[in-house]
Amino acid sequence: MRPFVYERPDDPAEAVATMVRPGAEYLAGGTNLVDLMKLGVSSPDVVVDVNGLPYHDVEDVPGGLRIGALVPNSDLARHPAVRAMYPAVAQALLAGASGQLRNRATVAGNLMQRTRCRYFQDVTKGCNKRAPGSGCDAREGDHRELAILGASPQCIATNPSDLAVALSIMDAQVHYIGPHGAATISVHDFFRRPGDRPDKDNCLPRGALITAVVLPELPMAAASVYRKVRDRASFAFASGSVAAALDVRDGVVHDVRLAWGAVAHLPWRAWAAERALRGAPATAESFERAADAELAGARPLRDNAWKVPLLRNLTVDVLREMTP
């Protein structure tokens, strides 16, 4: 591991100012950054430890629930308000990692984590996300677990976060401090498709420090669900996942929220499926048509077309179980 300068700022403004220095990286739980440093994928010149900053609380605020950026995933998963009002968030966190990792990993770190694509993590391989212009060896290599939606010729990596999928159906807001002051961005605008800049995972300005995630009041979220499919029952990243909230009245879908994980460069909000379902009968046939409407845009490669029926069947199964 390369030598680096370690800084532990006392206030947010100092943290942001330190991050402006070339080669600086934030450190919170370290469950992703330390791994990438060991692999040689990340080689920061300055490590900015933010654990001393005041973002460790979960609190009720007008219109929702404010979650501090440094709240450990374990604490958030067992928080009474989260379990009662946003159960899909708790379920996603519990599905996302082992207990030891959840105890260290933070909410902001979860959103900022890098892809687990093996070509990104192997510095001997071509990866436009890690080294822009080096190519995407995954396209002709082992891409079984990679993207089927929203990819580009430059990158087919997937976002690894379970939490982000659940936050997507909640219309969460991400609060941050940047070089020009405090700002807020919707979780839908936070992440980005790879396009021709797959090295950029999100739309935050350089040096931005996430301070909180706010979950707005959403009554239907109290019955939300997160379901994850993976190769083994123990800790593993998703092969496909669904977050859903469903409001059925008199046998008709009044409102619905759907998002998919492990299929794109970002948590994939299933907008087309939602449009197809609102006002439709709450039946298996409607759920199938809605899933098909969303998956019409899928562009699987040689070895990952199996994700299409997986997401279709998983979505239909989850929605059927949620129907009263």
Is position 91 within any domain? yes
- In 10 A of CB 22, how many CB atoms? 7
CATH code for the domain of 21: 3.30.43.10
The verdict on 186 and 311 lying in the same domain is no
What are 139-193's pLDDT values in tens digits? Answer: 999 999 999 999 999 999 999 999 999 999 999 999 999 999 999 999 999 999 9
C-alpha–C-alpha distance, residues 320 and 324, integer Å: 9
Which helix (H) or strand (E) is 173 found in, with range?
strand 173-178
Where residue 215 falls (left for φ over 0; alpha for ψ -120 to 50; beta otherwise) is beta
Is position 120 within any domain? no
Is residue 320 scored above 90 in pLDDT? yes
- Which is it for strands 209-216 and 58-61: parallel, antiparallel or unpaired? unpaired
What are 292-301's pLDDT values in tens digits? Answer: 999 999 999 9
For residue 98, the model assigns a pLDDT of 85
Is position 135 within any domain? no
Is residue 1 scored above 70 in pLDDT? no
Number of domains in the chain: 3
Is position 45 within any domain? yes
Contact 242, 226 (CB under 8 A): yes
Is position 316 within any domain? yes
The verdict on 167 and 301 lying in the same domain is no
- Mean predicted lDDT score pLDDT of the chain: 96
Whether the model clears a pTM of 0.75, i.e. scores above it, the answer is: yes
Q: Cα–Cα distances in Å, from 51 out to 48, 72, 99? A: 9, 11, 20
Give one DSSP letter per residue of 75-103, joined into a string. Answer: HHHT-HHHHHH-HHHHHHHHHHS-HHHHH
- Closest among 265, 242, 293 to 146, alpha carbons compared: 265
The verdict on 87 and 183 lying in the same domain is yes
C-alpha–C-alpha distance, residues 142 and 138, integer Å: 6
Of the three residues 170, 189, 216, the one that is the final residue of a domain is 216
What are 101-150's pLDDT values in tens digits? Answer: 899 999 999 999 999 999 999 999 999 999 999 999 999 999 999 999 99
The verdict on 212 and 242 lying in the same domain is no
The verdict on 187 and 303 lying in the same domain is no
Is residue 234 scored above 80 in pLDDT? no
Domain of residue 43: give its range.
Answer: 5-49
C-alpha–C-alpha distance, residues 268 and 271, integer Å: 9
Is position 240 within any domain? yes
Is position 257 within any domain? yes
CATH code for the domain of 312: 3.30.390.50
Is position 144 within any domain? no
Question: Residue 149 carries which DSSP code?
Answer: S
